[in-house]
Amino acid sequence: MIKSIILAGTTLLLMAMAAQAGPALSTTVMKTDGRTSQPIGHYDFCQTYQDECRIRSISDTPVTLTSKVWAQMVEVNTKVNTDIKPETDMEIWGKAEVWSYPTTVGDCEDYVLLKRKILMERGIPVNSLLITVVRQMNGEGHAVLTVRTDRGDYILDNLEARIKPWNDTRYDYLKRQSTHNTGAWVSITDDRQVLVGSIETQ
């Protein structure tokens, strides 16, 4: 029984990965502005994982999107989305805005943290793996992982099976981690807001 479940899970993972063999051909880079406030959940996370929030990057160069890097992105995104079951912070902790590394269940920020951690362990530089805060079209806040590449910015999202260019997602982008300091945040200038709003209301 257990073996059958493992095989079924592996099959689903491989099918999901095969469904996205390559990145979208056209994408763009987010425009960021000056420094902005740090999300309270990330602030509390940094009190526990202080070393992770003190990383400085001199280089601003995004990761080169090779076939190997793309395969890692797809594999990690699919596996974490499959292995972790969604639950709210209130359901898990009994309070809001608790950012943590999930083992079996997690909120959107937890998915992001785990994906970021695994991709860093696989060699993708920290300045290309940025926790990003967005607003959904229903007004609710959400977190995704932005992967900065030489072909543009891509989004790893627990609400979406496929990795998409950031400009192909229906979110209002608010802020993300700085490329130079993992403990600092910068605002995002989302030039697509009017376009996304008009598409949604049609």
Average pLDDT, the chain: 88
Q: How far apart are CA 51 and CA 102, in angstroms?
A: 19
> At 72, is the pLDDT very low, low, confident or very high (cuts 50, 70, 90)?
very high
Which one is the CATH code of 2-201: 3.40.50, 3.30.420, 3.10.620, 3.90.320? 3.10.620
Write out the H or E segment, with its range, that includes residue 121. helix 108-121
- Answer whether residue 158 shows pLDDT above 80: yes
What is the per-residue pLDDT for 193?
52
Condensed to tens digits (0 to 9), the pLDDT of residues 87-115 reads: 999 999 999 999 999 999 999 999 999 99
Coil vs helix vs strand at 186: strand
Q: What is the pLDDT of residue 24?
A: 72
Q: Please name which of 6, 161, 166, 143 lies closest in space to residue 77, comparing C-alpha atoms.
A: 161
- In the sheet where 185-189 sits, what is the strand order? 31-36, 185-189, 171-177, 129-136, 141-149, 152-157, 160-165
Report how far residue 82's alpha carbon sits from residue 180's, in angstroms, rounded to the nearest whole number. Answer: 31
6-10, 23-27, 50-54, 138-142 — which is least confidently predicted?
Answer: 6-10
Residue 100, sorted as left (phi over 0), alpha (psi -120 to 50) or beta, turns out to be beta
Token pair 């260019």 in the structure block, residue: 165
Q: What is the pTM of this model?
A: 0.85
Residue 36 is inside which H or E element, if any? strand 31-36
Instruction: Tell me the domain boundaries of the chain.
Output: 2-201
Percent of the chain having pLDDT more than 70? 84
